[in-house]
Amino acid sequence: MATGASQNDIFSGSRPSLAKARAGSAGAPPDAWDWEKLDGHLRPRLVTVGVRRFGCTPEEAEDLVQDILEAVLVKRPRVRNAEGYLVSMFFNRCFDRVEQRNRQLTLETSLDAAATGADGADRLLTAFHVRGAFRRLTPGCRRLIRSYCVLRVSLAEAAAGSGCTVPAVWKRINQCIKRMRSCLDA
C-alpha cells in the first residue's frame, strides 16, 4: 500500500491560509468561488501528492490538475466545498491512471508470456474454438461480452448501451460468460 499524503493532508483546516480561503467558499455558489486562489493553493499540493503517492511524473500530475480544473470550470457543479470536490476528483483521476498503468503492464506481460509460451498452432486452435463459442452466443450476449470484456467499457456504459441497470448488466455478463464456457466445453 502506498504511503504518503491523504486527502486530509491536502486540505486540512489547520493551515491559516486555507482557513481564509475556505471562509469565503463555504456554501457559496460556484460563481462566487475564487478559482485563482483555489488553483494557486491546491495545484502545488496536488502535483506533489500525484508524484509522491501515485508515481506520476510532474508533467502527468500537472496535466491531471489542469484537466480537473477545466472540467470544473466547464461543468460548474453545485457543491458546497470546492476544495474537497477538486481533491476528490484529482484522487479519482490518479487512481484511474494507476489502474490503467497496471492493466497495461498486465496486458504487456501476458502478451509476452503468450508469445513465448505457446506454439503458434496451439494459439490458432484456441482462437478458433473461442471464436466458434462466441458465434454460438446470442447477439445480445456477444454485444455485452465484446463491450465489457474486449473493449473494456465500464459497467455503467454497458448498462446505458443495453438499456438496463448496472446490476442487471453484471448478471447478464456473468450468464453470457457461463454460456460461452459451456459452448467451449462442448
Same domain, 26 and 56: yes
Query: Is the four-CA dihedral 139, 145, 151, 154 of positive or negative sign?
Result: positive
CATH number, position 142: 1.10.10.10
Same domain, 125 and 89: no
Same domain, 68 and 154: no
Under the banding of pLDDT at 50, 70 and 90, the label for residue 120 is low
| Residue 35 domain-assigned (yes or no) | yes
| Residue 108 domain-assigned (yes or no) | no
What contacts 171, CB < 8 A, 6 or more positions away? none
| Residue 136 domain-assigned (yes or no) | yes
Same domain, 23 and 88: yes
**Single residue among 67, 101, 135 that ends a domain in this structure:** 101
Same domain, 11 and 75: yes
**Which domain, by its residues, includes 42?**
7-101
| Residue 11 domain-assigned (yes or no) | yes
Q: What pLDDT shows up at residue 148? A: 87
Locate 104 and state its grid cell: 497495461
| Residue 112 domain-assigned (yes or no) | no
Q: What pLDDT shows up at residue 119? A: 61
Domain count, the chain: 2
Q: How many angstroms separate the CA atoms of 95 and 90, rounded?
A: 9
Same domain, 50 and 96: yes
The string of pLDDT tens digits covering residues 131-183 is 888 888 888 888 888 888 888 888 888 888 888 899 999 999 999 999 988 88
Contact 72, 90 (CB under 8 A): no
Does the predicted model carry a pTM greater than 0.85? no
| Residue 22 domain-assigned (yes or no) | yes
Residue-level length of the chain? 186
**Single residue among 101, 127, 148 that ends a domain in this structure:** 101
Same domain, 15 and 73: yes
Number of C-beta neighbours around residue 47 at 10 A? 20
| Residue 114 domain-assigned (yes or no) | no
The string of pLDDT tens digits covering residues 16-56 is 444 444 444 445 555 566 778 888 888 999 999 888 888 88
| Residue 110 domain-assigned (yes or no) | no
**Single residue among 35, 68, 101 that ends a domain in this structure:** 101
